[in-house]
């Protein structure tokens, strides 16, 4: 298990480095600037030690020499500050462009993932990976760039300067150093798994909050506020526990390394003082060494903090890369056809399909639809009606058998050309944030205002749109904002009216519309469906009396087939369903 986790961590690190490699120039520049900044900073203790040695006693101070040294110190500080600022700008450039690239690739992959992934992962959890986890990764990456380079170079530079002054005292420093490294490594191994768990629970919490906020009306309508609070408290408590563990382990890194560093400083002070007494060092050199001992140990504190942040960053990056490595939907075949001049001939041949292996839903499904025919799908909930729609649109691929449009297997047709020839109005409305006009013209962005208005009139949406504050330029929020459910559905109908493709899918398209408007919409649909192949899913069987063919489904099978009159005369399951709608009226 541990080997598997280490392998995953290494894999994540390789992927991160592959993104960083694109900006190698800025990385090299950052390292060079860090080196200059460190060199200038480490030169200051030598100058300070020289200045101390120029103060021999009362009345024996070399002020001109000290002034020259102060000028050099000022120049060194200025160079170090300028290099540090430029390095930070360079690091920011790399970090935020890497994050941008990762987000773009993640979103691009999200657009190519099959609906199977979307259906099995909460939207909030996916959002958490792309927003919160990437932000956490950015913070860790930026801290790593900013402090890791300067920290490592400071350690190496300090050792070089110390050995050039006195080898004995430098060995004291080097011998105690491994203790600090061991402490940091011990803690780092344990923090990665904790931060990874923290990211997972945070994603679960984000998903839950997104669901509760999005469906707040349902929660309140069914009095589930207390239950929702209990569920949130449970997730929140788990997040508290795993966050506390991760933060506790990460927070003990700094005190632990500081303790070791204090030992280093003490060792340098004691050995250095004895050397001064013995005449092996001057007071200025001891001052220089103590300053180096302090500078040498400080990066270990910073690097230990960086290691902790990098553990968190890698854990978050790993979750993002998991999303990016999900199996994408099967791409269009290299020689895929572009559907053109579609008349609406559809055939379903011996189709088998299951969402989950071992739980088959559609079996031996056969259907032949001629151009312009209206096919209605009816049956109890869960019988496979919406699944048939998903297969027709190729949101899912069949397990076996084939679906053909104009004689071509839709698996050998480009998805874009297939879906361009369908118009869909679903029971669940979908509107995006933008103007009314933009929402209606979603499928035809180039449509003129006159064409949008005509489509709205055909959908009986024009009258309510005119009453809005800015008419067709009224901005609505995500999923329609404050307009009613029925008005949202009218806008979705207008969207299809504007495109008028050769094939239509109407899945409970008038479920949220009042009876009077529904009658008008049905008349508009009748006009729209003339000459177009139409698939109609309906629970209110009175709306499909005029369908050419009615398929009665149960458990993924077609158990009856015919028109309204013939199925009533048969007195089977359809007649039972139809009559049951009027038993208690």
pLDDT range class, residue 415, cuts 50, 70, 90: confident
Output the pLDDT for position 581.
67
Is residue 24's pLDDT more than 70?
yes
Q: What value does the mean pLDDT of the chain take?
A: 80
Structural domains in the chain, CATH included, are 12-324 (1.20.1560.10), 346-580 (3.40.50.300)
Output the pLDDT for position 442.
86
Mean pLDDT calculated for residue range 461-482 = 82
CA neighbor of 347 nearest in space, from 365, 329, 374: 365
Q: What is the pTM of this model?
A: 0.63
DSSP-assigned letter for residue 327: P
Output the pLDDT for position 543.
66
- CA 274 vs. chain centroid, Å, equals 60
Q: Strand, helix or coil at 329?
A: coil
CB 440 within 8 A of CB 456: yes
Among 49-53, 357-361, 532-536, 563-567, the range scoring the smallest mean pLDDT is 357-361
Output the pLDDT for position 407.
86
CB 331 within 8 A of CB 299: no
- % of residues, the chain, pLDDT over 90: 1
Is residue 585's pLDDT more than 60?
no
Mean pLDDT calculated for residue range 414-426 = 85
141-185 pLDDT per residue, tens: 777 777 777 777 888 888 887 777 777 777 777 777 667 667 766
Is residue 1's pLDDT more than 50?
no
Q: Strand, helix or coil at 311?
A: helix
Mean pLDDT calculated for residue range 180-198 = 72
pLDDT range class, residue 580, cuts 50, 70, 90: confident
CA trace torsion 117, 313, 248, 199 (10° rounding): -10
Output the pLDDT for position 58.
61
Mean pLDDT calculated for residue range 354-379 = 82
Spatial CB neighbours of 570, under 8 Å, sequence gap ≥ 6: 560, 562
265-323 pLDDT per residue, tens: 777 777 777 777 777 777 777 777 777 777 776 776 666 667 767 777 777 788 888 88
Q: What's the token pair of residue 534? A: 């139409």
Instruction: Please report how the helices 63-112 and 24-53 are oriented relative to each other, as an axis angle in degrees rounded to 10.
Output: 160
pLDDT range class, residue 82, cuts 50, 70, 90: very high
* CA–CA gap between residue 461 and residue 497 (Å, rounded): 11
CB 413 within 8 A of CB 398: no
Spatial CB neighbours of 140, under 8 Å, sequence gap ≥ 6: 309, 310, 311, 312, 313, 314, 316
- CA 512 vs. chain centroid, Å, equals 33
More confident residue, 217 or 338: 338
Output the pLDDT for position 20.
83
Cβ–Cβ contacts within 10 Å for residue 16, how many?
21
Is residue 3's pLDDT more than 60?
no
More confident residue, 119 or 344: 344
How close are the terminal C-alpha atoms of the chain, in Å? 63
Output the pLDDT for position 78.
92
């Amino acid at each position: 298990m541990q080997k598997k986790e280490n392998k995953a961590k290494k894999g994540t690190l390789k992927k991160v480095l592959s993104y960083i490699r694109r900006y190698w120039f800025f990385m090299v520049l950052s390292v060079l600037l860090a080196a200059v900044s460190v060199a200038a900073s480490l030169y200051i203790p030598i100058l300070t030690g020289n200045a101390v040695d120029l103060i021999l006693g009362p009345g024996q101070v070399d002020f001109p020499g000290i002034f020259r040294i102060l000028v050099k110190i000022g120049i060194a500080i200025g160079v170090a500050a300028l290099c540090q600022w430029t390095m930070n700008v360079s690091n920011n450039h790399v970090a935020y462009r890497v994050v941008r690239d990762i987000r773009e690739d993640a979103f691009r992959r999200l657009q190519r993932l099959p609906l199977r992934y979307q259906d099995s992962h909460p939207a909030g959890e996916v959002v958490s990976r792309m927003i919160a986890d990437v932000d956490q990764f950015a913070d860790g990456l930026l801290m790593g760039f900013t402090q890791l380079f300067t920290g490592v170079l400071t350690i190496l530079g300090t050792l070089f300067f110390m050995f050039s002054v006195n080898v004995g005292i430098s060995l004291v420093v080097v011998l105690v150093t491994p203790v600090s490294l061991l402490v940091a490594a011990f803690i780092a191994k344990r923090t990665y798994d904790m931060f990874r768990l923290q990211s997972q629970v945070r994603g679960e919490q984000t998903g839950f909050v997104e669901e509760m906020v999005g469906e707040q009306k349902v929660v309140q309508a069914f009095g589930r506020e207390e239950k929702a609070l209990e569920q949130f408290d449970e997730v929140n408590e788990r997040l508290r526990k795993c966050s506390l563990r991760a933060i506790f382990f990460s927070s003990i890194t700094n005190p632990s390394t500081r303790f070791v560093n204090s030992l280093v400083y003490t060792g340098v002070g004691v050995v250095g003082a004895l050397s001064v007494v013995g005449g092996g060092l001057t007071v200025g050199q001891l001052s220089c060494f103590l300053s180096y001992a302090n500078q040498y140990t400080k990066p270990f504190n910073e690097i230990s903090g960086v290691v902790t942040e990098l553990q968190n960053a890698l854990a978050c990056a790993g979750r993002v890369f998991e999303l990016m490595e999900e199996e994408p939907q099967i791409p269009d075949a290299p020689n895929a056809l572009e559907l053109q001049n579609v008349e609406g001939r559809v055939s379903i041949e011996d189709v088998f399909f299951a969402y989950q292996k071992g739980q088959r839903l559609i079996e031996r499904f056969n259907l032949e639809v001629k151009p312009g025919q209206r096919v209605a799908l009816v049956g109890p909930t869960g019988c496979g009606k919406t699944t048939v729609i998903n297969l027709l649109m190729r949101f899912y691929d069949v397990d076996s058998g084939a679906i053909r449009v104009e004689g071509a297997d839709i698996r050998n047709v480009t998805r874009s050309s297939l879906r361009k020839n369908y118009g869909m109005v679903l029971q669940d409305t979908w509107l995006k944030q933008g103007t009314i006009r933009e929402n209606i013209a979603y499928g035809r962005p180039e449509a003129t205002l006159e064409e949008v208005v005509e489509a709205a009139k055909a959908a009986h949406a024009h009258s309510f749109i005119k009453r809005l504050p800015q008419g067709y330029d009224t901005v609505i929020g995500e999923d329609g904002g404050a307009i009613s459910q029925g008005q949202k559905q009218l806008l979705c109908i207008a969207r299809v009216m504007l495109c008028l493709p050769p094939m239509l899918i109407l899945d409970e398209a008038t479920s949220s519309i009042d009876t009077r408007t529904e009658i008008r919409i049905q008349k508009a649909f009748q006009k729209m469906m003339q000459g177009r192949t139409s698939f109609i899913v309906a629970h209110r069987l009175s709306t499909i009396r005029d369908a050419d063919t009615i398929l009665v489904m149960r458990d993924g099978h077609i158990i009856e087939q015919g028109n309204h009159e013939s199925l009533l005369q048969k007195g089977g399951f359809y007649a039972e369903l139809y009559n049951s709608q009027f038993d208690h009226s």
